[in-house]
Amino acid sequence: MYATRDTQPAPLDAKASPKGRWGGVWRGTLFWRALVIAIGLGGCQDAACVTPPCPEPRALSVVLTSATTGAAITNGTLTATGPVMATEPCSGSCDLSGPAGTYTFEVSAPGYVTVDHSVIVHGTNPACGCSSVTTANVAIALFPSS
């Protein structure tokens, strides 16, 4: 036959150890629960707090076409300043990731007149959590330079 083991904790009396038979396990469990709660509340006080790393939101989406033919321009460049400073290739369309704010950008392509544009990207940049934006969708039609 199999030997059985008493799995019930022994009753505590006044002279027993403060841990009792299972006191150490309970104390350890309470410690870890308290630690998890402290870490969860210590990051921020907002219930919607998301711990970074966060994906960078897409601030701009630019579609680049020829003003005369309507065809996509595949060799363009987007140069932006504002919350993010970047230069991105535009092959018919291009995206720029960044937080909310005012973006000023230049769109150029060989053989076309360069266009300057400015747009306000709305969103939130919380102290705790990930920023979110409403992507500004911009259509740019470039005119040939000659």
CATH for 135: 2.60.40.1120
- pLDDT of 146 above 90: no
Both 111 and 78 in one domain: the answer is yes
Both 62 and 115 in one domain: the answer is yes
pLDDT given for residue 116 in this prediction:
97
- The Cα 14–Cα 78 span in angstroms is 78
3-state SS class at 27: helix
Structure tokens at 124: 């939130």
Both 88 and 115 in one domain: the answer is yes
Q: Which band of pLDDT confidence, cut at 50, 70 and 90, is reported for residue 38?
A: very low
Q: Which of 56, 105, 49 is nearest to 79 (CA)?
A: 105
Range of the domain at 11: 1-42
- The Cα 45–Cα 124 span in angstroms is 17
3-state SS class at 3: coil
- pLDDT of 127 above 90: no
pLDDT given for residue 30 in this prediction:
53
What average pLDDT does this structure show over 89-94? 94
Q: Which of 100, 3, 21 is nearest to 56 (CA)?
A: 100
Both 90 and 21 in one domain: the answer is no
Both 69 and 18 in one domain: the answer is no
3-state secondary structure 29-76: HHHHHHHHHHHHHHCCCCCCCCCCCCCCCEEEEEEEEECCCCCECCCE
Both 123 and 91 in one domain: the answer is yes
Both 36 and 63 in one domain: the answer is no
| One-letter amino acid of 83 | P
Q: Is residue 50 part of a domain?
A: no
Q: Is residue 48 part of a domain?
A: no
Structure tokens at 102: 């005012």
Q: What's the structural domain count of the chain?
A: 2
Mean pLDDT of the chain: 79
Both 77 and 120 in one domain: the answer is yes
Give 3-20 pLDDT, tens digit per residue. Answer: 555 555 555 554 554 555
pLDDT given for residue 26 in this prediction:
47
> Token match 């005369």: residue?
68
Contact 52, 127 (CB under 8 A): no
Both 31 and 96 in one domain: the answer is no
Quick check: bond before 9 cis, omega within 30?
no
Highest mean pLDDT among 12-21, 31-40, 111-120: 111-120
pLDDT given for residue 125 in this prediction:
75
Q: Is residue 82 part of a domain?
A: yes
